[in-house]
């Protein structure tokens, strides 16, 4: 959709840099998760949140309400994440934090899937809510320290990391400031 509002190309560069930063956070998170390095998990999550927040803040959509919803979810998630890191080492707060950010990221990937037909975007959009549910289920059943659950989540995280990498490659190959295809 063409608009009379002008955005410089740097706007899109910053938007895409959020995906790069987010992927770096995912990679750190995945490998820290595998070796149960809790400091690496916190750092990877924080980097992912930063990248998500950057992309959310620089998201271009034709309906303002969509951006407000996506950014609100991310901001709430970051607030919960900061409170988890600084004040409350309560696992419930970490799960709530991740839930909000992942809902916002599902919106970002969904927008890209809708506009540019990135199949990875569709898969990631639907996998994030499922990932939230699986984490809540594992936590609710007290299976956080179960080896089978740990291995299953690691495999899911690897798949998500590879999908995010494939998505990022497609996004970086795309011309800057390309309008939505629909």
CA dist 128 and 90 (Å) reads 22
pLDDT of residue 127: 92
User: Quick check: 6 pLDDT over 80?
Assistant: no
- In percent, the amount of the chain with pLDDT more than 70 equals 96
CA dist 58 and 7 (Å) reads 10
User: Quick check: 7 pLDDT over 80?
Assistant: no
User: Quick check: 3 pLDDT over 80?
Assistant: no
Residue bearing the bigger pLDDT, 16 or 146: 16
User: Quick check: 14 pLDDT over 60?
Assistant: yes
Give this prediction's pTM: 0.88
């Amino acid at each position: 959709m063409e608009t009379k509002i002008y955005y410089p190309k740097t706007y899109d560069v910053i938007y895409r840099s959020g995906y790069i930063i987010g992927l770096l956070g995912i990679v750190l998170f995945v490998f820290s998760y595998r070796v149960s390095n809790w400091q690496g998990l916190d750092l990877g999550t924080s980097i992912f949140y930063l990248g998500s927040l950057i992309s959310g803040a620089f998201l271009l959509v034709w309906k303002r309400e969509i951006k407000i919803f996506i950014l609100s979810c991310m901001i709430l998630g970051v607030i919960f994440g900061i409170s988890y890191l600084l004040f409350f080492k309560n696992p419930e707060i970490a799960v709530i934090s991740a839930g909000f950010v992942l809902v916002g990221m599902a919106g970002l990937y969904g927008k890209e899937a809708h506009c540019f037909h990135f199949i990875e975007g569709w898969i990631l959009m639907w996998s994030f809510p499922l990932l939230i549910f699986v984490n809540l289920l594992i936590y609710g059943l007290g299976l956080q320290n179960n080896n089978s659950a740990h291995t299953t989540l690691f495999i899911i995280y690897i798949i998500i990391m590879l999908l995010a990498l494939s998505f990022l490659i497609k996004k970086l190959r795309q011309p800057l400031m390309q309008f939505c295809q629909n």
